[in-house]
Amino acid sequence: MGWVNIPNEVVLKFTGQPLQNNKTNADLEVLYKPFSCPAAGCDEKFVTVESFREHLTDEHDLDESKVEVAIRPEMEDTTVANLITHLLLQFNNERRDSPFALIRKTNDGYHATEVWRRVQVAMGRDASAIRLKQEQYDWVQGLLDRKLPLSKEEKERGDEVQTVVMFLYGFSEDNVRQSLKSLPERRIPEPNYSGVGEEPQARELVTEEV
């Protein structure tokens, strides 16, 4: 079984702007812009909710639900490594009402573990590409295309069946698909046309004599 390289580049939204995600630390905790403890006379600042909770309990004996503090998540441009990491975490959502609960398969755990390991190695080395075995690469591509089941109400409304990538990324799903492919498998982009001060080149009409 061969290997496949996926460029570890920034993923763009359908608008051409970088797709963004919540920045996390090594423990996969969501990071926030530094925020202060609301207790009077306390100057402590925090970047994770967990450290804030521990501080309230240990230092002030306060219940988190009884204090108010404004927090804003730190965002970062999504690289392919980030994208795969968040895709695996979302697909592994263990809540019973998760839309992915009914479409998991027997070997998902094995493939997810192998993909996760290769992606984290690439992130640790700040690698320019993610190197996956062909079977793990094929699994990622298949994961994107899995169809989510419709509820009875959705069927009665005539809702369209969505795939995993459509559900998670909306209009940007095609960009996400392309970013997770190896270079030889990517669609060749069409030439840019700004529409301002220029006209698309006319195609010569070829007719055949009868």
pLDDT in tens, 178-198: 999 999 999 887 776 665 555
Give the number of C-alpha atoms closer than 13 A to the C-alpha of residue 113, restricted to the C-beta side.
Answer: 4
Q: Give the per-residue pLDDT at 190.
A: 75
Averaged confidence pLDDT in the chain:
86
pLDDT in tens, 81-137: 999 999 999 888 877 778 888 899 989 999 999 999 999 999 878 889 999 999 999
Q: Does any domain span residue 201?
A: no
- Quick check: 199 pLDDT over 60? no
The verdict on 163 and 96 lying in the same domain is yes
Q: Kindly indicate the confidence band of residue 206, based on its pLDDT and cuts at 50, 70 and 90.
A: very low
- Quick check: 205 pLDDT over 50? no
Q: Does any domain span residue 187?
A: no
The verdict on 62 and 94 lying in the same domain is no
Burial of 123 (0-12, 13-18, 19+ CB in 10 A): middle
Q: Does any domain span residue 128?
A: yes
| Domain interval for residue 119 | 3-17+79-182
The verdict on 11 and 111 lying in the same domain is yes
Q: Does any domain span residue 209?
A: no
The verdict on 98 and 141 lying in the same domain is yes
The verdict on 164 and 138 lying in the same domain is yes
The verdict on 54 and 158 lying in the same domain is no
The two tokens of residue 39 are 């207790």
Q: Does any domain span residue 151?
A: yes
Q: Give the per-residue pLDDT at 210.
A: 35
The verdict on 63 and 101 lying in the same domain is no
Q: Kindly indicate the confidence band of residue 157, based on its pLDDT and cuts at 50, 70 and 90.
A: confident
The verdict on 168 and 94 lying in the same domain is yes
Q: Could you identify the residue written with the tokens 């204090």?
A: 67
Q: Does any domain span residue 11?
A: yes
The verdict on 91 and 145 lying in the same domain is yes
Characterize 82-106 residue by residue with b for buried, 16 or more Cβ atoms within 10 angstroms of its Cβ, and e for exposed. bbbbbbbeebeeeeeeebbeebeee
The verdict on 63 and 107 lying in the same domain is no
Overall number of domains in the chain: 2
The verdict on 154 and 84 lying in the same domain is yes
Whole-number Cα distances in Å, 90 to 62, 74, 84, 139, 185: 32, 19, 10, 16, 26
The verdict on 64 and 124 lying in the same domain is no
